[in-house]
Chains A and B, each alone.
Chain A
Amino acid sequence: NAGVTQTPKFRVLKTGQSMTLLCAQDMNHEYMYWYRQDPGMGLRLIHYSVGEGTTAKGEVPDGYNVSRLKKQNFLLGLESAAPSQTSVYFCASSYGPAGYEQYFGPGTRLTVT
Chain B
Amino acid sequence: KQEVTQIPAALSVPEGENLVLNCSFTDSAIYNLQWFRQDPGKGLTSLLLIQSSQREQTSGRLNASLDKSSGRSTLYIAASQPGDSATYLCAVKGSGGGADGLTFGKGTHLIIQP
Q: Contact between B104 and A106 (Cβ–Cβ < 8 Å)?
A: no
- CB-nearest residue of chain B to A54: B99
Q: Contact between B106 and A106 (Cβ–Cβ < 8 Å)?
A: no
Q: Contact between B42 and A107 (Cβ–Cβ < 8 Å)?
A: yes
**B99: A residues at CB distance < 8 A:** 31, 48, 50, 56, 97
Chain A positions 77 through 99: 1 when the CB is less than 8 Å from some CB of chain B, otherwise 0: 00000000000001010000111
Complex alpha-carbon distance, A18 and B49, angstroms: 37
Contact of B19 with A by CB under 8 A:
no
Instruction: Find residues 73-114 in chain B having any chain A CB closer than 8 Å to their own CB.
Output: 89, 91, 93, 95, 98-102, 104-107
**B107: A residues at CB distance < 8 A:** 42
Question: How many B residues, CB 8 Å from partner?
Answer: 25
A49 CB → nearest B CB, Å: 9
Complex alpha-carbon distance, A54 and B42, angstroms: 28
- CB-nearest residue of chain A to B98: A97
| Interface SS majority for chain B | strand
**B106: A residues at CB distance < 8 A:** 40-42
Contact A58 B100, CB 8 Å, known A99-B31, A101-B46: yes
Contact of A33 with B by CB under 8 A:
yes
Q: Contact between A98 and B95 (Cβ–Cβ < 8 Å)?
A: yes
Instruction: Find residues 41-91 in chain B having any chain A CB closer than 8 Å to their own CB.
Output: 42-46, 49, 51, 89, 91
Contact of B24 with A by CB under 8 A:
no
Q: Contact between A43 and B98 (Cβ–Cβ < 8 Å)?
A: no
| Residue from A44, A103, A107 in contact with B46 in the complex, judged by beta carbons closer than 8 Å | A103
Contact of B32 with A by CB under 8 A:
yes
Q: Contact between B101 and A35 (Cβ–Cβ < 8 Å)?
A: yes
Contact of A104 with B by CB under 8 A:
yes
Complex alpha-carbon distance, A108 and B12, angstroms: 29
**B102: A residues at CB distance < 8 A:** 43, 45, 102
- CB-nearest residue of chain B to A45: B101
Q: What is B's interface to A at a CB cutoff of 8 Å?
A: 4, 31-32, 34, 36, 42-46, 49, 51, 89, 91, 93, 95, 98-102, 104-107
Could you list some 10 contacts between A and B, CB below 8 A? A35-B101, A41-B106, A42-B106, A50-B99, A56-B99, A101-B34, A101-B49, A102-B34, A102-B46, A102-B102
